[in-house]
Structure formats: structure tokens, C-alpha cells
Amino acid sequence: MIKKYKNSIIGASIVAFVLGMINIKVRLDGVKPMLLGERFLPNIGGWIEIALISVYAAYVIHKMITTRNTAKWRKLTWTIFSVVFFSQLILALLGFDMFLMKHSFHLPIPALIIGSSIYTLQFGFMPILFLSTVILSGPAWCSQLCYFGALDLQASSGLGKPQKVKNKALLKSTFLIIVISVAVLLRVLNLSYLWTSISAASFGVAGIFVILFYSRKKKMMYHCTTFCPIGTVLQYVKYINPFRMYIEQSACTLCMQCTPTCKYDALNPEDIKAGKPGLSCTYCGDCVSSCHSSSIKYKFFNVKGQKAQNIWIVLTIVLHAIFLALARI
């Protein structure tokens, strides 16, 4: 029995340990609790939340390591994460400051991870958080941990064949350059916080427009694969992580059944023939169950196949569960 649920037990234990250390350190420092439960029930609320989140992580890991369930549970848990995040955002905007990570509000727009760092010339909390996810689980930020990404996935779901993104490389580079250029310009001109907020909010609104109109129409995650500068940066920095996905060409029949399952435009015929997903691949694993020859696999150093996939799922769900437990606005 223990062997059957080993991955779930390991994941739950890591979640409990990390959240426990966060809870203890915050108490010792005497700052605002990072666990929401602790804010509602001081002294015991945090520990109750840790127990519940750990059980949740164990259950999700148990479900996701069964390959046929991976896509379903990824979508469900990512949606839960997004709903919790935006619910906290709405409550914070309504004046309930207990939902703020700190005592001030910041715009929750992914592009600001890059733009804000350039504008302030400071490497703050969000860039550190983002890079830590890359180090631990590669590109999982864009398949399980980004609040905007879950909206993009929902919009691109439904009946219809995903349409290939045209001029993807050009568009991705253009939007990244725009974000960097605007951040530099705002700093050089030393414009007020109002103008920086307007610029950031405008980019966020444009992203929602892309999700609602392009992703929904094309059945492809256009925001994540084309518009979001974080996605563009991630497709290169993810290689600092040892996880990889590859296509075993000796087993692949070139049936192309995996292509329609990829919402990241990473399994086009040229990618499959090359033996590896395209740069925009986020290791989400949705394609694995669609491969009748089982030729799409994970790799972690010398570990391959299901074992490597299980390691990736455990690490990713651990991050997902920890993020879910914290106040993030």
C-alpha cells in the first residue's frame, strides 16, 4: 500500500515541511502571516491549512501520475488555482487587506515580472519566485502555476482543431521587445507611478483581449505561446532545468495524433520528425496519453519514461499546492 502511494506521500510531506517552515519563520519574524488560514485563526489556522493542502497535494499527485488522467486534472487544478487567485484579487480590491501578501497592492500581470525588474532595477520577489520554479520544474510556470495561463487554457478548450500560430517567433520577439522598451522608457523619463500603472494595466487588458478573441477562436493558447513575454523568456531559460521531453523516433509512427492535443503549438509535423517538441513546449504532458505508440516521454538525467514523468509531476504539484496556500496579491 505504501509503495502504491509513495509519490503522493513524498509530495504531501514536502508540501507540509515547506509550508511549516514558512509558518514558523513568519511567526519568529513577527510579520504578516503568509498562510491565509493563519490570518483567520491565529496560532492554529496555519497548521490546519497545511494539513488540508498536503492532503490535497497527495490526492492530485495520485490522480495525475495515471497518464490518462493527466490532462483532465491539470486543467482542473490549474483552474482552481486561477479561481483562488482572482477571488483574492477581488476581495483585496474590495478592501479586505488580509488577502494582500504585504500591506500594499500590486498589479498581478505576468509581464511585470520582467517590466518591473527593469523599471526599478531591482530583482524582487516575483522574479525570484519565477526562477525558482524554473530551477525545480522547468517550464511548469506556463502549464500549472500562472493565473493568466489557466484562463488561456479554458478559452482555447472545446470542440475544434487547434490552429497553428503563424509568425510565432516574430510575434513573441516583438511583444517581449515592447515590454522591455516601455520599461526602459518609463525609467529614463522618470514618469510617475500613475503612468507605469497605466502602461502595465494596458498590457494586461490587451492580454485578456488576446485570450477572449484569439485563443477562443483558434483553439490555441495564443496568449501563452505568442503574447506573454514570460512565455518567451521561459522557452529558453527552461533549459537550466534537467527535465526534457523527447519523441522516441524508433517507436513513433508519425500518426500525428498528438498534434491536436497540444495547446502550445509545440507538436507540429516538423517537431515530431525532429524527435522533440518545439521551443514552446511546457512539459504539460497532455500529449502523452494521445500517443498510441508511447513514444513521447520525459527525461530527467538518466531517468526516462514513467519514472521521470512521476518526478516532474510530484515537483510541479508541490509547487502548485504551496502557491495555492499562500496569499499572493
What are 179-221's pLDDT values in tens digits?
A: 999 989 988 988 777 788 888 888 889 999 999 999 999 999 9
Report d(CA 262, CA 278) in Å as an integer.
11
Domain of residue 309 covers: 1-88+303-329
Q: Are 50 and 23 in contact (CB under 8 A)?
A: yes
More confident residue, 290 or 2: 290
Residue 235 lies in a domain: no
Could you tell me what percent of the chain has a pLDDT over 70? Answer: 96
Spacing of C-alpha 239 from chain mean position: 16
Report d(CA 67, CA 310) in Å as an integer.
10
Report d(CA 301, CA 319) in Å as an integer.
21
Report d(CA 313, CA 60) in Å as an integer.
9
pLDDT band at 99 (very low <50, low <70, confident <90, very high): confident
Residue 289 lies in a domain: no
pLDDT digits (tens, 9 = 90+) for 213-230: 999 999 999 999 999 999
Least confident span in 20-24, 157-161, 233-237, 269-273 = 157-161
Residue 313 lies in a domain: yes
Instruction: Using alpha carbons only, give the angle 318, 99, 59 rounded to the nearest 5 degrees.
Output: 25
Residue 100 lies in a domain: no
Tell me, what's the pLDDT at 104?
A: 58
pLDDT band at 308 (very low <50, low <70, confident <90, very high): very high
The average pLDDT across 140-148 equals 91
Spacing of C-alpha 107 from chain mean position: 18
Cell of 15: 508540501
Tell me, what's the pLDDT at 58?
A: 96
At 244, is the secondary structure helix, strand, or coil?
strand
Residue 132 lies in a domain: no
Report d(CA 26, CA 270) in Å as an integer.
50
Tell me, what's the pLDDT at 80?
A: 93
Tell me, what's the pLDDT at 103?
A: 56
How many domains in the chain? 1
Residue 4 lies in a domain: yes
Residue 172 lies in a domain: no
Residue 65 lies in a domain: yes
* Residue type for position 288: V
Q: Are 329 and 101 in contact (CB under 8 A)?
A: yes
Tell me, what's the pLDDT at 17?
A: 94
